[in-house]
Structure 1
């Protein structure tokens, strides 16, 4: 990157009015200044070898180039370079597992990475998945270190031919697929000690163990398997006794038996590539079976199993109980305990519930959120009214979970803020505002607090106490979706405020609402 661009990005980041706490915030909030167009055009005239110069017009990628300068400024500081304006010779994020994946995800940065960079070190970061090939766009790099991670799959050997200056390559302690290093001219430039336990080099000791196993262990194993199968043939397991143990892994045949062969009578609904069946296990447990029809890779299936292994451990009265999963079949499936109840969306639309009951549900949802926030922060969830199920005693159950690297507390509080506003304002009667969340929030902000009467659901009995309580709930919702206030709010603080408002009904009383 030209030296003119980094100072300009640094100046933007240091401006107090737009100072951001994260790289993501900077990329979302900042836009190229008016003079940025002429700056990069001038850079290309002075130095046509810059990455963003070439046959195509640089103006086509103006936003990407500007974002790249922002990331470069952050990354230069994170890597402790002595002078980020004049030189940017190394990227050193070793042992930084919380931020390393973030910078690897910015493909536009690697596309326009500064030509001054000579060393890239992402070692010891617990990185998962395939090797991030976008890093290889920095063709001038001389040293590349991705050792001590969890990378797997095929390593892109053919891409190394473009890295003519590369003299140090360390991939040790990973799980790549084995390749014939001795036949690769590329790898002859490097020391084999930099590929220890990487999976790329055949392990001679391991080969000897495998040979010994084939000669001695395999026959013994076959005998044991035959004996085990024979034992199963003469001993029928009592499945009813297994009902005392939580079922985790389900087979296809078990799900077919539970749903009468996936009959139409047991099909409860279909949406977005998901079929939902109602079934009964052999021990009498009624279950909800969500079958995902889309095909996925083996790596994605492995991640699916890892996520399900977490979900079956969740235990809270405001979370749907996940009993297990099935992955031995092209469509995957998740099995949860069946709940006889309607969705929160139907309940709000058809029953015109009083404010007290709405507050009870909001408190329950926040209880479930606090549990996940404190005990399982890696588990995300969907807070749309269509994804929350109500039990018979009006206990809300969060029914949709997700695993998202971008999931964070601020995002969850924003989703809860939208849910708060929908519960009080009857969003369904706001006409064309149904089309988008942004317009719905804009409508609330425009009418609150001056025209609060235009926001409240008129089906709620509005005594003076209830009006004040509804106003307080709207205030909490707006604070949750306001970025600056959102950062200051704590989950437990929101829970205590809602609980205090809900308990005030028992102190002051609330009007009966049939």
Structure 2
């Protein structure tokens, strides 16, 4: 007995049929007779596989079943199935108009259609007349192709209800009568291309147009999508999913959109070669955009990008966050987070901040300087009271950087000394004819006897805090003294300022308690000690 995959499932009959393949189908049907034990073989087949169609027939005609096996063997070979003794997967009679009608005429074959047949291709065989309902007896099929024929009449939609496994149907290029709109649910099971020029659908012309549009429009749409994607990648990558965006890289189109076309309303500063704008990115992040215009060499542009790659790595609460850069032939731009606060210079001029807040500013500045010195010593920063920003929480923020060890540590300490003196005195170096040297000279001339002429009087310091400010002046002069070879380190400066700040916090409640009376500094009459 053959393998279970073979529909006929018997050996004796297979040997009989195999010997008859050399003759024509008509001759075999006329000359061959069922073997004597054919009935026994059929019974064994049905016991082994009760689902065979002839096993479930109400009246089992052995001659008819025998002819079915002969036609099945011939048709299996004609359809070029790989091994007709063990498998019968498909019926393929396409482009064979002389042979196909013969097999379609054998109704007994389709009555007992092998259960293994999953595909029937009867395309381009010059079929005429109505739909060949015989093939629907193979209700297990998954694919049916009757295209390129001359079939006419009504299409038997209701007969397709048992074909629940059918997923591919091609009736194109036939002449069926138009189907009713109420039957449209059937057509949703298949693609529109299944009914091109079939005459079945009410608007068959529309399907032709759609097919043409699909053939022409699809490649055009693919090209347009590719062009659009390319434009987004190079012009507006902020519209792409995050995985496709180039981190820290901004394009001129992104900056133009963020600043509303570089409008004057968004422009904060404009000077020769530099423009600063306030902008809003697509994700609503507010940014500061600093643009440098003018052509530079390719080597300089490359150096600029390498610098920016360092700056975006900076991460500290007292440093402005560099978000990225933009580089073209004619301009460079650095994009940083936006800080709504004012500069230290504006803060000093406007609100007369108390000594404790000034100390806190100094602590934050030194912390930022220490972070850069320990982690990014190649980063140079602009330490001036008109360039250091003040955030809403009164944290100072260093906002301008450059890569390149242009300043030695002594130079950085000197810059901090000037910054410290300006914080305490509320005087600007540019007020003096000699600039920074003039400020230092002014402080030295009044140190230590006339410091009340130097220290910002608006702070109204009690004596103990005035002494703290005096130590601050001493530290500033030490940092700016060019005659000494070794200046205090940033760690030492940080330690001293933090110690003064802690002392200031301890003194504040005492001074508040003492100043509840007259609020002036004087001497206690009994012991000569200072009091409020």
CA distance in 2: counterparts of 1:278 and 1:308, whole angstroms: 19
Task: Label 1:496 to 1:235 Cα distance change in 2 as closer, same or farther (>3 A).
Answer: closer
Higher RCO, 1 vs 2 (CA within 8 Å, ≥6 residues apart): 1
Please, what TM-score do these two structures have when normalized by structure 1?
Answer: 0.52
Q: CA deviation at 1:293?
A: 1.8
Q: Which residue of 1 aligns with 2:508?
A: 509
Q: CA deviation at 1:415?
A: 0.1
RMSD: 2.9
Asked if 1:498 is matched to 2:497, the reply is: yes
Q: Which residue of 2 aligns with 1:269?
A: 269
CA distance in 2: counterparts of 1:330 and 1:433, whole angstroms: 38
Count matched residues: 287
Q: Which residue of 2 aligns with 1:291?
A: 291
**Superposition pairs for residues 49-68 of structure 1, below 5 Å?**
none
Which SS does the other structure have where 1:277 is aligned? strand
Q: Which residue of 2 aligns with 1:309?
A: 309
CA distance in 2: counterparts of 1:243 and 1:270, whole angstroms: 36
Contact 1:252 1:326 in 2 (8 A): yes
Asked if 1:396 is matched to 2:388, the reply is: no
Asked if 1:448 is matched to 2:442, the reply is: no
Cα deviation code 1:24-69 (max 9, x no counterpart): xxxxxxxxxxxxxxxxxxxxxxxxxxxxxxxxxxxxxxxxxxxxxx
Q: Which residue of 2 aligns with 1:333?
A: 333
Q: CA deviation at 1:432?
A: 5.1
Asked if 1:471 is matched to 2:463, the reply is: no
Cα deviation code 1:257-305 (max 9, x no counterpart): 1111101111111235211101111111100000112332211111111
| Larger of the two Rg values belongs to structure | 2
Contact 2:377 2:405 in 1 (8 A): no
Which SS does the other structure have where 2:289 is aligned? strand
Q: Structure 1: any 5+ residue segments left out of the alignment? A: 1-225
Asked if 1:481 is matched to 2:466, the reply is: no
Q: Which residue of 2 aligns with 1:421?
A: 421
Q: CA deviation at 1:404?
A: 3.7
Please, what TM-score do these two structures have when normalized by structure 2?
Answer: 0.50
Cα deviation code 1:234-278 (max 9, x no counterpart): 999884752998941100011001111101111111235211101
Task: Label 1:457 to 1:299 Cα distance change in 2 as closer, same or farther (>3 A).
Answer: same
The farther-off stretch of 271-280 and 251-260 is: 271-280
**Superposition pairs for residues 73-88 of structure 1, below 5 Å?**
none
Cα deviation code 1:188-247 (max 9, x no counterpart): xxxxxxxxxxxxxxxxxxxxxxxxxxxxxxxxxxxxxx9994793799988475299894
Q: Which residue of 2 aligns with 1:57?
A: none
Q: Which residue of 2 aligns with 1:368?
A: 368
CA distance in 2: counterparts of 1:238 and 1:288, whole angstroms: 17
CA distance in 1: counterparts of 2:238 and 2:484, whole angstroms: 57
Q: Which residue of 2 aligns with 1:147?
A: none
Q: CA deviation at 1:434?
A: 6.1
Q: Structure 2: any 5+ residue segments left out of the alignment? A: 1-222, 516-532
Q: CA deviation at 1:403?
A: 2.9
Q: Which residue of 1 aligns with 2:260?
A: 260
Task: Label 1:491 to 1:386 Cα distance change in 2 as closer, same or farther (>3 A).
Answer: same
CA distance in 2: counterparts of 1:264 and 1:448, whole angstroms: 48
Q: CA deviation at 1:486?
A: 6.3
Q: CA deviation at 1:408?
A: 1.6
TM superposition outliers: structure 1 runs of 4+ over 6 Å: 233-238, 243-246
CA distance in 1: counterparts of 2:451 and 2:336, whole angstroms: 41
